[in-house]
């Protein structure tokens, strides 16, 4: 090993002598012996390679700074090039040993971009793709590098075609391939325009009319649409709209959307939103009211398209697109109250129709209730809260939302709704067993004695679901102590401890209540002492029973 290290160090002597001769470094400034030894141990770490590479890069950076400081810009072939070659060799050895480390490959690419040659980048990507052909992002990066760094559209196209062999249904690969062809087309058009301005003969240059009009991108589009759905087609259309020479291609894609993808809600959503950008007076109108009126007309045209969509495609995704559009427009700020009122009325109408069709998405009930409460429609909010639980009777979040709404309104139906929640929601299925109960407990300070008695009736306290029964007993005990003091808490405890199941926390809380009454157990009356010991006995017995059941 020592011979190899010594040989590598001696190979650097001409380079070091040159650095000293031109005044960039001194003799004591360059020491690589320790790093070389690390790379030739029996067990080599990746960190050793990275440290050596970083050391060499730091040397390059220092040379660059000192060149600028002393204004010396000669002998690069004898100074920088050997270091760059050595770093490239280190990267090659490291990536050969740790092939799966993609970040190491990226570091090599980044180094080549800054210090290497364009051909070196291509070689690195080629080696990386031979090992990682299953990663579409790497193919895209390699193709972009060919197009941007080497200005080679042919090589980029070749890489995209190879990528599609490995990933024939990958949307991102198709999108970037499509974009690349349009960028290439735009570049050719700019070159032709510059040559024409310079009045040069175009005979020796080949500018195919088909390529200049974006036919290659159209070929990519036709190949893609046979495999991927409407949302992807729209993404290609959005890319095409960036370029000002793709009108024919855009018309082709739009026609395909309207002909072949009407069974997809994404198509209707896209076509409806296009009406917002349709030609009109827009910002040219002098008054805020005039602009608001123009915006309202555009939104009405959007809604007409959505209406056609729900007639043709009466599905939850279609109604979701319609509601999402109306909700997004309502959230937009406007100083014109009339426009805001129309947007709110439109949204409430669409939500009601979607609900009547049993196609309103669960998450939109929250938005619906918020709007009704803000507008002061308490009756409507209560009605929606109750009907939402009928639509999604197994949803914990819907029951919680409905309970919160009725509490906020001070409704007398809260007790009945809570009992219905315990009946319909199966805690064995839903992981958030206690969320419905916690909603009630969070509002406990606002609940009257009578209402709490209703909420904590025998149905919940004796629920067959252990989690519900145990938690309600704990909360009932807490409530008894906070409203009636120690005596009421003891009475509640004595009545509940006969009914299993009981949690450890139930006994712990009662013990805590007893401890609050006195500072020391020896000063307690005899009856209280017995009761205190009784609590410990029950707690121990309950724990033993639970352990037996677990076994």
Helix (H) or strand (E) holding 236: helix 230-240
Q: At 204, is the pLDDT very low, low, confident or very high (cuts 50, 70, 90)?
A: low
Average pLDDT over residues 82-98: 90
User: Which of 177-186, 437-446, 491-500, 502-511 tops mean pLDDT?
Assistant: 177-186
Three-state DSSP state, 42: coil
User: Which of 302-306, 435-439, 444-448, 488-492 tops mean pLDDT?
Assistant: 302-306
Q: How many CA atoms lie within 13 Å of 402's alpha carbon, on the beta-carbon side?
A: 29
- What is the pLDDT at residue 192? 82
- What is the pLDDT at residue 536? 57
Q: At 107, is the pLDDT very low, low, confident or very high (cuts 50, 70, 90)?
A: very high
- Give yes or no for a contact between 475 and 444, defined as CB atoms under 8 angstroms apart: yes
Angle, helix 215-225 to helix 171-197, in steps of 10 degrees: 170
- Give yes or no for a contact between 389 and 420, defined as CB atoms under 8 angstroms apart: yes
Least confident of 399-408, 469-478, 522-531: 522-531
- What is the pLDDT at residue 538? 58
Three-state DSSP state, 135: coil
538 vs 74, higher pLDDT:
74
Q: What is the mean pLDDT of the chain?
A: 79
CA atoms of 268 and 303, how far apart (whole Å): 11
- What is the pLDDT at residue 462? 54
- What is the pLDDT at residue 525? 54
Q: Does the pLDDT value for residue 1 go beyond 80?
A: no
Average pLDDT over residues 15-40: 57
Q: How many helices (H) and strands (E) does the chain have?
A: 28, 0
| Beta carbons within 10 angstroms of residue 73's beta carbon | 8
User: Which of 194-208, 244-258, 451-465 tops mean pLDDT?
Assistant: 244-258
Residue that the structure tokens 């020796």 belong to: 204
Q: At 167, is the pLDDT very low, low, confident or very high (cuts 50, 70, 90)?
A: very high
Residue that the structure tokens 């570091």 belong to: 107
86 vs 489, higher pLDDT:
86
Token output for 227: 């495999």
Q: Does the pLDDT value for residue 394 go beyond 60?
A: yes
Q: What percent of the chain has pLDDT over 70?
A: 73
User: Which of 72-86, 242-256, 523-537 tops mean pLDDT?
Assistant: 242-256
CA atoms of 468 and 476, how far apart (whole Å): 12
Average pLDDT over residues 34-38: 50
- What is the pLDDT at residue 547? 46
Query: Which of the 8 DSSP states describes residue 44?
Result: -
Q: Does the pLDDT value for residue 64 go beyond 90?
A: no
Q: At 33, is the pLDDT very low, low, confident or very high (cuts 50, 70, 90)?
A: very low
Helix (H) or strand (E) holding 7: helix 2-11
CA atoms of 142 and 257, how far apart (whole Å): 32
CA atoms of 348 and 341, how far apart (whole Å): 11
User: Which of 87-91, 282-286, 448-452 tops mean pLDDT?
Assistant: 87-91
User: Which of 246-260, 394-408, 497-511 tops mean pLDDT?
Assistant: 246-260
Q: At 136, is the pLDDT very low, low, confident or very high (cuts 50, 70, 90)?
A: very high
Average pLDDT over residues 132-161: 93
Average pLDDT over residues 124-133: 94
CA atoms of 148 and 153, how far apart (whole Å): 9
- What is the pLDDT at residue 27? 57
Q: Does the pLDDT value for residue 37 go beyond 60?
A: no
Average pLDDT over residues 424-448: 51
Q: At 455, is the pLDDT very low, low, confident or very high (cuts 50, 70, 90)?
A: very low
Residues 468-477: pLDDT tens digits?
A: 667 677 777 7
Least confident of 39-53, 128-142, 467-481: 467-481
Q: Does the pLDDT value for residue 240 go beyond 90?
A: yes
Q: At 405, is the pLDDT very low, low, confident or very high (cuts 50, 70, 90)?
A: confident
Q: At 485, is the pLDDT very low, low, confident or very high (cuts 50, 70, 90)?
A: confident
pTM: 0.71
* Cα dist from 338 to 275, 277, 289, 298, 544, whole Å: 21, 22, 9, 15, 69
Q: At 346, is the pLDDT very low, low, confident or very high (cuts 50, 70, 90)?
A: very high
Average pLDDT over residues 274-295: 75
């Amino acid at each position: 090993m020592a011979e190899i290290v010594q040989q590598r160090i001696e190979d650097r002597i001409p380079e070091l002598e040159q650095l000293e001769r031109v005044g960039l470094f001194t003799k004591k400034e360059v020491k690589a012996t320790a790093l070389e030894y690390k790379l030739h141990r029996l067990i080599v770490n990746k960190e050793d390679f990275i440290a050596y590479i970083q050391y060499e890069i730091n040397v390059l950076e220092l040379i660059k700074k000192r060149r600028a400081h002393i204004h010396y810009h000669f002998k690069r072939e004898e100074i920088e090039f050997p270091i760059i070659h050595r770093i490239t060799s280190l990267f090659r050895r490291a990536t050969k040993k740790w092939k799966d480390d993609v970040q190491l490959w990226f570091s090599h690419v980044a180094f080549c971009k800054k210090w290497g040659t364009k051909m070196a980048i291509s070689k690195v990507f080629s080696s990386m793709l031979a090992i990682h052909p299953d990663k579409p992002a790497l193919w895209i990066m390699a193709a972009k590098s060919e197009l941007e760094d080497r200005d080679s559209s042919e090589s980029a196209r070749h890489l995209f075609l190879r990528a599609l062999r490995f990933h024939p249904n990958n949307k991102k690969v198709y999108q970037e391939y499509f974009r690349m062809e349009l960028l290439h087309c735009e570049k050719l058009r700019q070159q032709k325009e510059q040559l024409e301005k310079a009045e040069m003969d175009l005979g020796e240059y080949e500018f195919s009319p088909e390529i200049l009009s974006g036919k290659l991108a159209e070929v990519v589009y036709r190949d893609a649409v046979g495999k991927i759905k409407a949302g992807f087609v729209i993404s290609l259309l959005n890319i095409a709209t960036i370029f000002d020479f793709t009108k024919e291609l855009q018309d082709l894609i739009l026609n395909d959307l309207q002909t072949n993808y009407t069974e997809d809600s994404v198509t209707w959503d896209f076509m409806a939103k296009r009406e917002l950008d349709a030609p009109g007076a827009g910002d040219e109108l002098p008054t805020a009211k005039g602009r608001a009126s123009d915006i309202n007309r555009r939104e009405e045209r959007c809604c007409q398209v959505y209406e056609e969509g729900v007639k043709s495609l009466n599905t939850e995704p279609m109604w979701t697109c319609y509601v999402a559009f109306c909700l997004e427009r309502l959230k937009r700020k406007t100083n014109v109250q009339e426009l805001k009122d129309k947007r709110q009325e439109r949204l409430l109408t669409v939500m009601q129709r979607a609900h009547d069709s049993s196609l309103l998405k669960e998450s939109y009930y929250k938005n619906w209730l918020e709007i009704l409460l803000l507008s002061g429609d308490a009756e409507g909010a209560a009605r929606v809260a109750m009907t939402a639980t009928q639509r999604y009777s197994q949803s914990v979040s819907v029951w919680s939302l409905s309970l919160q709404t009725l509490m906020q309104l001070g409704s007398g139906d809260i007790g009945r709704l809570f009992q219905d929640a315990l009946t319909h929601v199966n805690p064995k299925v839903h992981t958030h067993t206690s969320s419905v109960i916690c909603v009630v407990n969070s509002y406990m300070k606002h609940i009257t004695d009578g209402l709490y008695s209703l909420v904590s009736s025998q149905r919940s306290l004796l629920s067959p679901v252990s989690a519900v029964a145990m938690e309600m007993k704990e909360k009932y005990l807490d409530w008894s102590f906070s409203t009636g003091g120690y005596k009421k808490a003891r009475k509640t405890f004595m009545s509940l401890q006969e009914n299993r199941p009981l949690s450890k926390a139930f006994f712990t809380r009662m013990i805590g209540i007893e401890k609050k009454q006195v500072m020391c157990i020896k000063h307690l009356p005899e009856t209280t002492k017995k009761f205190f010991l009784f609590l410990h006995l029950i707690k121990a017995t309950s724990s033993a029973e639970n352990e037996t059941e677990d076994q």
